[in-house]
Amino acid sequence: MDTIKLFPNRKQESSANEQDSSLVAFSHAAKSQLKAGSVALIGAGPGDAELLTIKALSYLQQADVVLYDYLVSEDIMALIPSSTILVCVGKKAGHHSVPQHKTNQLLVDFANQGHKVARIKGGDPFIFGRGGEELEVLAEAGIQFEVIPGITSAAGATAYAGIPLTHRDYAQSAMFVTGHLKSDDDQMDWATLARGQQTLVIYMGLMKSSHIQEQLIKHGRSSTTPLAIIERGTQKQQKVLLGQLSDLSTLAEHAQSPSLIVVGEVVQLATKLNWFQSENQVTQQTQKVAV
C-alpha cells in the first residue's frame, strides 16, 4: 500500500510566485477551520477561480494535503500554497487514471495520519462527481468530513455562454444527465429527456454524441432544436459551438473535453445574451461551425 512518503511536498517557489497578501487576507475572512484528521470535499466550480466560495478558498489555504482532479483549472490550483502536498487522482480518457478505490483509500490514509485533507473536484462534487461515493467510505471509516458545494458546470458554463437554463417563453424545466453511457446497457429514459419546452444539459457526452442525437430525435425531439456545445466553460479558453440537434455529432468533432451539451429552445438566446469574452480577445468567443 502506498504511503505518504510517495507524495513529497513541492519545492518552495520563488517569492515572486508566493500568494498575494490580499488573497491570504481574503481567505482568512472565512471563520471555519479545517480540522486535523478530517476531509473537506470541495467543489471547484467550472473553472473561473473567482467563482470559488470564500470557504472553499480558505480550506484550500489551510489544507496539508489536496487531492485533485484534472477538471480543476490551473488558475484554481495556483491558489494552493506551495508547501501543500498535491496528489492528482484524476480520470481522463487516454491518460493514466487512478482507480476510485485507490482515491478512497488515500483519503482515509491521509486523514488517519492526522492531516488536514482537501478533496477538490471540478463543478459540484454531488453532481456527477462521485462525491457521495467517497464520503460513504469516509463515514464507514469513522472520519469526519465537510462538504463545500461548488457551482455545477451546467449552471456556470451556460451562464457564461448567455444561455439561461429556464425561461418563461422557452423552458419551464431543466434536466442534468450524464452522457457517459454504456452502449450495450442504455437505461436512459429518452422519452422524458426528449420532451419539448425543457433544457437538457448533458455532461460527458461528446463520445456518445451520435447515440444521443439519434435517441433524442427518435423519441420526439425536433431535429431543428437549438443546440450548443460549451467547451471549457467560464475559462478564458471558453468556446461555444452553436447549431441544431441534427448537427450534434458533427459539432462534437470540433470540441474537446471538458464540454457540456445543451439542447433546448433557450440556446437561441446565446448570441443575444453572450456577455463573456476573455481579456485576450476583442470579439466574443461564440462560434458557429459549418456543418
Active site residues: 69, 91
Q: Which amino acid is at 61?
A: Q
Give dist(CA 10, CA 7) in Å, integer. Answer: 9
Distance of CA 262 to CAs 56, 150, 168, 176, 199, Å? 28, 20, 18, 10, 7
> Dihedral angle at the C-alpha atoms of 149, 152, 158, 162, nearest 10 degrees?
10
For the chain, strand residue ranges (E) read: 39-43, 65-68, 85-88, 117-121, 145-148, 173-178, 198-203, 226-231, 239-244, 259-263, 286-288
- Residue 90 host element (H or E): none
Closest alpha carbon to 251 in 264, 261, 237, 236: 261
Total length of the chain? 291
